[in-house]
């Protein structure tokens, strides 16, 4: 049961964290009315994953491992693009709110709503198919016992609860801290998604270098351990990372994080009045 | 606005499914994986074609199963096979030598079994 619990947790956690932050973001910026849009993005991704997962499980249709990896990898790269867009859009909006420029805020929201739905969709849909196939296999196994299904469901539920806790905790932060913390968190999550997106593309045969590993700590930190699962879900940590994956991770994380903090401080005259760089 | 990614996803998946969808397997080969063993029910396969390896994880750890060519190139894989669950790996095999590898704990080179397609 523990094994299935950890798969559910690992696969669900990152999507849950991203969605939790997006919901908190909408609530904090007074855009509750846009929540249905976000849930639509999530719902469509879940429905599609479950539907296609069922087709793969119960019909003779198959999706080769390579195609599935290439698909997940491609979705990951898209997701990173949209999350990055969201991060900088959030910061821009934060400033608009602070300066009460309603017109500018509306423009930003009109643009951002699209990004928001796509981000929610991609965050869930990216690993959704793999998770759905896994869930269906647990359902199929109920003839031999309900432990796998119970474990898988509890794992996913735990991931959702953690996402909800992130939401609950982050809405209590002051606005400046909120934007800094959630933005920085999203940069870290996105770097991880990019890293294993690249790894997926390597597994799918789209990119070379699958066997040139930068490091392999899978004996010390196996993905099937609870800490491996948490590290994977939050930071996109892969115990056996390829060079390409590691370089992509660093080349995203360092400049984007630098831009996020530097850019936040640039346009305003003094540090104290800044919404983003409140820390 | 939602139509774009949804269409993209649908088209990609439909294309992928169509690419090898519906192709019935020539034979189903049972693979029983545990934390320390990887039993392949049939290692001498008769003739090229699509084989379905039905992997049942009877261990306590999550496992994954790969089929490799004799020179170590991956043919197919199935990841995230939870304890107590089964997954089917379909692989199109030409005549020749292959290896089936179970990787309990989803790590390492795996427990390998040689198989031969006549």
Q: Which string of DSSP letters, residue by residue, matches B55-102? A: EEE-SSS-EEEEEEETTS-EEEEEEEE-TT-EEEEEEEE-SEEEEEEE
Question: Which structure tokens are listed for B63?
Answer: 């496992």
Angle of helix A2-28 relative to helix A65-99, nearest 10 degrees, comes to: 30
pLDDT of A177 higher than 90: no
- List the domain boundaries for chain B: 24-117
pLDDT at A274: 43
Contact between residue A9 and residue A229 where contact means Cβ atoms under 8 Å apart: yes
How close is the nearest chain A Cα to the Cα of B80, in Å? 7
Long-range contacts of B12-16 (CB under 8 A, 24+ apart): B12/A71, B12/A74, B13/A48, B13/A52, B13/A63, B13/A71, B13/A129, B16/A63, B16/A64, B16/A67, B16/A68, B16/A71
ipTM above 0.85, yes or no: no
Listed in sequence order, the residues at least 6 apart from A15 whose beta carbon sits closer than 8 Å to its beta carbon are A123, A124, A126, A127, A128, A159, A163
Helix (H) or strand (E) holding A216: strand A213-216
Asked if A117 has any chain B CB less than 8 Å from its own CB, the reply is yes
Angle of helix A65-99 relative to helix A175-203, nearest 10 degrees, comes to: 160
pLDDT tens per residue, chain B (118 residues)? 445 555 555 555 555 554 444 567 889 999 999 999 999 999 999 999 999 999 999 999 999 999 999 988 888 989 889 999 999 999 999 999 999 999 998 888 899 999 999 9
CATH architecture for segment(s) B24-117: Sandwich (2.60)
Q: Which residue has the higher pLDDT, A30 or A138?
A: A138
pLDDT at A12: 93
pLDDT at B117: 96
State pLDDT tens for residues A229-256. 999 988 888 899 999 999 999 999 999 9
Question: Which structure tokens are listed for B66?
Answer: 């790969």
State pLDDT tens for residues A77-114. 999 998 898 888 877 777 666 555 455 555 556 666 77
Chain B residues in contact with A63 by the CB 8 A cut-off are 13, 16-17, 20
A35-49, A82-96, A134-148, B97-111: the lowest-pLDDT one: A82-96
Q: What is the pLDDT averaged over residues A167-176?
A: 89
pLDDT at A264: 53
Secondary structure (3-state) at B34? coil
User: A124 pLDDT band (50/70/90 cuts)?
Assistant: very high
pLDDT at B111: 96
Mean residue pLDDT across chain A: 85
A152-156, A268-272, B61-65, B67-71: the lowest-pLDDT one: A268-272
Q: What is the pLDDT averaged over residues A182-192?
A: 92
* Cα angle value A107/A109/A112 (rounded, 5°): 115
Chain A residues in contact with B79 by the CB 8 A cut-off are 65, 130
Asked if A178 has any chain B CB less than 8 Å from its own CB, the reply is no
Whether the predicted model's global pTM rises above the 0.90 cut: no
Contact A130 B79 (CB under 8 A): yes
User: A222 pLDDT band (50/70/90 cuts)?
Assistant: confident
Contact B82 A152 (CB under 8 A): yes
């Amino acid at each position: 049961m523990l094994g299935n619990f950890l798969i559910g947790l690992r696969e669900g956690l990152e999507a849950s964290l991203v969605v939790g932050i997006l919901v908190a973001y909408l609530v904090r910026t007074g855009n509750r009315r846009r929540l249905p849009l976000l849930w639509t993005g999530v719902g469509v991704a879940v429905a599609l994953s479950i539907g296609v997962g069922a087709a793969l499980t119960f019909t003779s249709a198959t999706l080769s491992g390579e195609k599935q990896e290439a698909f997940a990898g491609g979705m990951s790269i898209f997701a990173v693009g949209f999350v990055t867009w969201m991060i900088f859009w959030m910061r821009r909006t934060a400033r608009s709110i602070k300066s009460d420029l309603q017109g500018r805020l509306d423009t930003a929201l009109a643009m951002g709503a699209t990004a928001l739905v796509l981000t929610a969709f991609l965050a869930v849909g990216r690993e959704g198919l793999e998770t759905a196939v896994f869930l269906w296999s647990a359902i199929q196994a109920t003839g031999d016992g309900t432990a796998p299904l119970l474990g898988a469901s509890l794992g996913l539920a735990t991931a959702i609860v953690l996402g909800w806790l992130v939401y609950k905790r982050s809405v209590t932060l002051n606005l400046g801290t909120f934007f800094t913390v959630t933005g920085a968190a999203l940069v870290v999550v996105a770097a991880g998604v990019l890293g294993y997106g690249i790894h997926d593309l390597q597994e799918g045969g789209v990119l070379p270098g699958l066997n040139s590993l930068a490091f392999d700590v899978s004996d010390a930190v196996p993905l099937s351990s609870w800490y491996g699962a948490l590290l994977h879900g939050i930071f996109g940590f892969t115990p056996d990372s390829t060079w390409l994956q590691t370089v992509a991770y660093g080349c995203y994380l360092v400049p984007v994080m630098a831009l996020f903090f530097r850019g936040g401080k640039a346009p305003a005259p003094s540090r104290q009045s800044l919404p983003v760089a409140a820390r | 606005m939602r139509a774009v990614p949804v269409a993209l996803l649908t088209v990609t998946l439909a294309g992928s499914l169509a690419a090898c969808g519906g192709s019935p397997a020539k034979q189903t080969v049972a693979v029983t994986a545990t934390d320390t063993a990887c039993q392949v029910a049939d290692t001498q396969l008769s003739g090229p074609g699509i084989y379905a390896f039905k992997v049942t994880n009877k261990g306590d750890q999550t496992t994954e199963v790969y089929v490799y060519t004799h020179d170590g190139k991956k043919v197919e894989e199935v990841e995230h096979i939870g304890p107590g669950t089964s997954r089917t790996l379909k692989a199109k095999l030409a005549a020749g030598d292959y290896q089936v590898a179970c990787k309990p704990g989803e790590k390492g080179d795996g427990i390998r079994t040689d198989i031969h397609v006549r």
